[in-house]
Structure 1
């Protein structure tokens, strides 16, 4: 049967509607039947495929994996189903997908107009290099004058741009190949520790890992699971190799007699605040609640940072475009002024 690919918006709507129906007391089969009646043919075919998988005994998150739902969202569904609260996982996954789509749209809107301007400027620079500057050069030679140094430097730079692009692409391809073979047999933790070496990646990576882990662990503990059982679920899930390994590592740390906060302090890939929140939560007997609240705060903080970053993109790009326009203007006007002065 042909598989119809959903975009992120369609996935978010499906997860939200399914979670809402389950929350109202409908069974999964009934919910899927209702959704297939309300949606267009392509979506109905996909829902039919999911129902067939469920009849074969596959869990919902495994069937949705075949429909190209992102792995971290599948992780939310896996942990929620293990707690017997699948509707919560569906609604949470839907919310995350919707927020990602909103941020993606904001980013595209921020760069759309500057990107058009940059494209236009690129065309202008091409015509200046191929037609205008050669005319300037011939004109200056006819009157025994040399082009201004500023203009000559700009011409050299414009001529070097294609070479620079090819060199950059070649280096990126070589880097990708080297990293691929270097990490081919490395563990997920080794890969994460490698990326932590880069300052521009480190903080974002820590926030993502800490938020996801604290959210899942917090809700597992709130659902009544012990730490050992919660880490066993992390070991059993297959959607994130990193957290699969992390579950094994944390279980070993607890067997060695370490407290959970001490174990977190030794993890360079988690924010230091995680250990502090864990210590506080264990002290007042509300570890699950504290971790869940901490994950929500991290998510809100990350969203605010991303929105702040998006608001900066357009002014920065306009500043770059303005600088390019000024450089091009000067490269044309300086030779004109010099030519007038020589007459």
Structure 2
């Protein structure tokens, strides 16, 4: 049974169907909003990388060969940088099918390992969380997602064990999910959620203290809803910071890469021009 169905079923059982529909729609609304923001932030550098690759490919395959032939007709030796770039272009043109095969095999091996090796999935998911800025964005997004689902399920009257089980399933990162599953096992033997989370360093002090306050006050659904809002705001702030930092960084990288290629063409041109004077 999916989360939406669990919320609605609980609402039917306790006579609060209208509230259940509202909670289910809120889950979907927040999930779509935060996911779109993260995808938008991650898509920008990917677009710039693709654009850079396209420009470099055109320069290497079209522009550089024309100028190289022209300089060779004048009997001029090409500069070292130009030779290196031209050699790389020739190597790619001669063995492009091997490069393509290597990429296809690499991608296929990656997805095969993720599908068949739990340890590989956990290691790669852990690696994502260690990436500067990006890891923090995903970690906060997953905690907000877990808290939002837990709030909706417990608020609709779903039993805590079932709510934890369903909420853990919405975490796509297997490394983080294993800790939520450990919390679930601890709660099954009577341990409070906050006490269990203190055993695992993946959970920060803010999350633990807020859940502890919710358990003590008897208003865990309300506190979980606040936790979701706090971490959603933090996720948005991290996304804005990532976008702010990545734009100038990518611009500098693109300028350096394209600049090297352009210089490899311009320098021989000026050398030839100076000899003609």
Structure 2-normalised TM-score? Answer: 0.71
**Structure 2 counterpart of 1:182, from 107, 117, 125:** 117
Q: Counterpart of 2:145?
A: 212
Q: Is the 8 A contact 1:205 1:269 kept in 2?
A: no
Deviations 1:244-286 (A, max 9, x none): 9878754531354533212112345544532222223334443
Q: Using the alignment, how far apart are the partners of 2:166 and 2:226 within structure 1?
A: 25
Counterpart of 1:131 in structure 2 is 66
Task: Indicate the residue corresponding to 1:13 in structure 2.
Answer: none
In 2, the alpha carbon distance for the partners of 1:248 and 1:80 equals 20
Q: CA deviation at 1:111?
A: 7.1
CA RMSD, 1 decimal: 3.9
Please tell me whether the aligned partners of residues 145 and 228 of structure 2 are also in contact (alpha carbons under 8 angstroms).
yes
Contact kept? 1:114, 1:318, Cα under 8 Å: no
- After TM superposition, the structure 1 = structure 2 runs for residues 7-18 of structure 1, keeping only pairs within 5 Å, are none
Partner in structure 1 of residue 88 of structure 2: 157
Question: Offset of 1:302 from its aligned partner?
Answer: 0.8
- State whether structure 2 residue 123 is matched by structure 1 residue 196: no
What aligned pairs does 1:240-251 form with structure 2 within 5 A after superposition?
240=170, 249-251=182-184
Under a length normalisation based on structure 1, what TM-score does the superposition of the two structures give?
0.59
Cross-structure match for 1:232: 162
The alpha-carbon deviation at position 127 of structure 1 amounts to 0.6
Aligned residue in 2 for 1:300? 233
Give the deviation of 1:195 after TM superposition: 1.6
Match of 1:57 in 2: none
Once the two structures are superposed, the pairs formed by residues 223-302 of structure 1 within 5 Å of their partners are 223=156, 229-235=159-165, 240=170, 249-267=182-200, 270-302=203-235
For the 8 Å contact 1:214–1:294, the answer to whether it is kept is yes
Structure 1, unmatched stretches of 5+, are: 1-61, 63-73
Q: CA deviation at 1:297?
A: 0.9
Equivalent residue of 1:146, what SS? Answer: coil
More relative contact order, 1 or 2 (CA 8 Å, 6+ apart): 2
Report if aligned partners of 1:207, 1:270 keep a CA contact under 8 Å in 2: no
List runs of 5+ in structure 2 lacking aligned partners: 12-19
The separation in 2 between residues aligned to 1:194 and 1:114, in whole angstroms, is 22
1:327 CA displacement = 1.7
Q: Is the 8 A contact 1:114 1:314 kept in 2?
A: no
Question: Contact conserved, 2:68 with 2:78, CA < 8 A, in 1?
Answer: no
User: Relative to 1, partners in 2 of residues 1:193 and 1:146: Cα closer, same or farther, differing over 3 Å?
Assistant: closer
CA positional deviation for 1:153: 1.9
